[in-house]
Amino acid sequence: MTGPRATLVLHDGTVFEGYAAGYLPESGVTTGEFVFNTALSGYQEVITDPSYAGQVVAFTYPHIGNYGVTAADEEAGRPWCRGVVVRELSELPSNWRSTGSLESFLREHDVPAIVGVDTRRLTRHLRAHGALPGAFGHGDPAEVAAAARTAVGTDGADFVSLVSTKAPYVRGEGDLHIVAFDYGIKETMVRELARRFRVTVVPASTSAHEVEELGPDGVFLSNGPGDPAALVEEVRVVRDLVGAVPVFGICLGHQLLATALGGTTYKLPFGHHGSNHPVQDLVTGRIEITAQNHNYAVTPGSLSRAVVSHLNLNDGVIEGIAAPEERCFSVQYHPEAGPGPHDARYLFERFEALLRTDTLEVL
């Protein structure tokens, strides 16, 4: 590694050593909430996923950057994560699609990184103690440690207003029209919707009345970052729309729909971040391998107006809910993938069937 020596310090005082890479901030210190992602590939999609706003992503796969980067793999116009932790960053990317190296991409978008870290040890620590705020950088180790002591996590934080689009835009030309709330929507998600519908993507601050004026056949609630409990106004808007129009939610959208239907949410110890989580459809018994990226989940037993439709087979977390009478459903995982398996893309067809038949066939 050719970068300057760097230090990573978690809020509990645990120290890791490595080398600075990517963007080098003048302060020499970067703070955020540290989480780990277990995907073996798709690092560019992970880094550009707006759901990572406020967080530092540690990759468990030891070799990152080997196939370079390409604009076609970006999930947003820019990365929103605070930084990246890697065991070994490839200096010689090789792929016919590649237009540059991962490190050059990080520098271009002002994303700091620390490499050469014992990511296995870091992952085991986060698994044992939960996602932790902390700091890293090439600055004075004492200053990095001081920043780690005052760093904060995502609890109670609204990052949605930061990452959401500032103005509506339209994609697709289908005969059905849906309004998609951008809480941090991924580009792959927009593409999957635009293949089937005419999609008006709107800011997260859009009111229920403004949605109704657009006359949609359905409403989509996207993924996004931060604590769903902090999004009181967004929940109120969803509550006003439920029953008036069919609704489909993914990830944060799932948590907001569950809250609107009487549920509550809680923070998972270290979240689900990866592309290999087994989820079972409780009706058919079918098991899907899914892509996931979330720190919060719906509290078991808290739903009063919906039923649980899917469960995570690793830890029993609620992965899907449905309220057929109110024509709405949602999943915690990512059926659009990007990266990850495509087992669950049928859910977009389920949404289309709901709009065309006015019947939710999940129970």
Token pair listed for 109: 């978008």
Please confirm whether the linkage preceding 339 is cis (ω < 30° from 0).
Answer: yes
Residue tagged active-site, from 192, 234, 336, 352: 336
Residue tagged active-site, from 45, 125, 251, 273: 251
> Across-strand partners of 273?
293
Query: What separation, in Å, do the N-terminal and C-terminal C-alpha atoms of the chain show?
Result: 55
SS3 call for 11: coil
* Secondary structure element (H or E) that encloses residue 340, with its range: none
* C-alpha gyration radius of the chain: 20
- Name 301's Cβ contacts closer than 8 Å, sequence gap at least 6: none
Contact 75, 171 (CB under 8 A): no
Catalytic status, residue 334: yes
Catalytic status, residue 251: yes
Contact 320, 308 (CB under 8 A): yes
SS3 call for 204: coil
CB neighbourhood size of 156 (10 A): 10
CB neighbourhood size of 287 (10 A): 12
Place of tokens 């993914």: 250
Residue 56: left if φ>0, alpha if ψ -120 to 50, beta else—which one? Answer: beta
Catalytic status, residue 81: no
Q: What secondary structure does DSSP assign to 156-190, as a single string?
A: T---HHHHS-SS-EEE---SSEEEEEESS--HHHH
Buried b (16+ CB within 10 A) or exposed e, 98-117: eeebbbebbbebebbbbbbb
The set of catalytic residues is 251, 334, 336
